[in-house]
Structure formats: C-alpha cells, structure tokens
C-alpha cells in the first residue's frame, strides 16, 4: 500500500531462499499523481492517456464479480427445521410441562422463528449431533461464548446454560415460578419446596437475552 511496505516482499523472498531478495523494484500502490509523474517522459497528453484514459477503459470492460457468494451456504440436512423444533419443544415440555409457561413459550417461538427463517437450523442440528455423540461416548463438551444466550441451544442439549430469567421449576409435577426475587442467576435462589407437591424445586436461569447470540436483527 505504501512505499515502506516493500520490505515485506523482501522478507518473504529471503525466507524462500532468493539470494537477490534485496534487489526489489519499488512496488507499491501509487496515486494517480504519482503514476503521472512516472510516465512524464511520454509528454502530457500521452501520459494522461496511459495512466487515466486507458486504465478506465479497461475497467469499464470488466464485469464486477466476487469470489465469495453473498448468500449463506450452509450444508443441507433434510427436515432439520422440524427436527430442531421437535427436540426443543420435547425438552421444554419435559422440564416445564404442557402447556408451557408463557415466558417459555414466547422465548421458544421467538428463537425458533429467527433460527429457521435465517437458515440456522442446520447449524443447530449439526451442533446438537456433535454434542450428543460426544456425551454419549463419555467426552465432556462445553459450548463457548454467546451460545449460552440461546434457549433453543439449551433445550437441544448444545449448552447447559439456561438463558431464561432466574426461576424455580419442579422436576416432579412441572410447576414453575418465574417471580423476580432479586437474584441475578437461578443458582443463587434460596432452596424451596414445591407448593403443589412438596418436592424440592430445581433452580435455574441466567437471564441472557437471545440478541447477544445472533444480533439484534438475528442474522
């Protein structure tokens, strides 16, 4: 880009064993004014034709292409959209009962709608298959970063992080309590028994918005 950058070419050629690596032409991206100066010996009219007129003529003859498709190009697994929904809802019903609490239903609908519409279902299914297979073979798997903000990822077993607000849920009768008790995560909630069946309640929830995973436009 700049005159001082030519040193990188010398370094690369020296590393490849060229004995004349230091004998470099001053190769860098010149401005129009610098190019006109280089061709000054042709005379004012000819130098302008060579540097400006002809280069623009060649540019106009070229079609603009990109070596990379602007489209998303994920692999395809038939039925992955329905599969991800089935796995997520089956797990949600297992934990929270049927019908689901409104907060659970709304979060699942919101995430699944975004995931499916934006073509991410296959990525979730691939991750789900990898994690389930690894766990089945006895290898501990940990997801990283903002994956933990996806409740669908939690319901499909990709992550153990439950991104819903801190809450209680009963593993016995499926009772749930999403009352805000002032705790930042569910693990800090005090122990409590289910008011319906007397079973000790599970404590869960980290309160992480889905937007931190796929962005505010979820794409």
pLDDT in tens, 55-91: 999 999 999 898 888 887 788 899 999 999 999 999 9
Residue 215: pLDDT band (50, 70, 90) is: low
Least confidently predicted of 11-15, 116-120, 159-163, 212-216 = 212-216
Tell me which residue has tokens 């929830």: 205
Q: How many residues does the chain have?
A: 219
Read off the DSSP letter of residue 149: G
pLDDT at 163 over 80: yes
Q: How far is CA 20 from CA 9, 10, 23, 24, 28, in A?
A: 12, 9, 5, 8, 19
Say if CB 176 and CB 195 are below 8 A apart: no
Average pLDDT, the chain: 93
- What is the rounded distance in angstroms from the CA atom of residue 10 to the CA atom of residue 25? 10
Which two three-digit tokens encode residue 120? Answer: 């991410």
Residue 146: pLDDT band (50, 70, 90) is: confident
**Which whole number is the average pLDDT over 107-129?**
93
Which two three-digit tokens encode residue 175? Answer: 């009772």
Residue 144: pLDDT band (50, 70, 90) is: confident
Closest by alpha carbon to 218, among 141, 146, 115? 115
pLDDT in tens, 99-114: 999 999 999 999 999 9
Q: State phi, psi for 207 to the nearest 5 degrees.
A: 55, 65
């Amino acid at each position: 880009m700049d005159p001082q950058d030519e040193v990188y070419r010398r370094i690369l050629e020296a590393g490849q064993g060229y004995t004349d690596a230091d004998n470099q032409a001053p190769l860098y991206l010149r401005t129009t004014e610098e190019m006109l100066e280089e061709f000054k010996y042709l005379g004012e009219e000819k130098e302008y034709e060579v540097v400006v007129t002809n280069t623009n003529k060649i540019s106009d003859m070229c079609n603009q292409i990109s070596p990379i498709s602007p489209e998303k190009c994920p692999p395809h697994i038939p039925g992955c959209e329905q599969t991800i929904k089935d796995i997520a809802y089956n797990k949600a019903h297992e934990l929270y009962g049927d019908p689901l609490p409104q907060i659970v239903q709304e979060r699942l609908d919101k995430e699944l709608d975004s995931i499916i519409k934006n073509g991410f279902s296959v990525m979730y299914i691939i991750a789900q298959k990898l994690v389930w297979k690894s766990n089945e073979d006895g290898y501990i798997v940990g997801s990283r970063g903002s994956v933990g903000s996806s409740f669908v990822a939690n319901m499909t077993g990709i992550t153990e992080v439950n991104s819903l607000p801190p809450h209680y849920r009963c593993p016995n009768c499926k009772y749930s309590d999403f009352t805000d008790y002032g705790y930042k995560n569910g693990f800090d909630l005090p122990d409590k028994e289910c008011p319906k069946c007397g079973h000790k309640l599970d404590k869960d929830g980290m309160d992480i918005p889905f937007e931190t995973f796929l962005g505010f436009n979820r794409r």
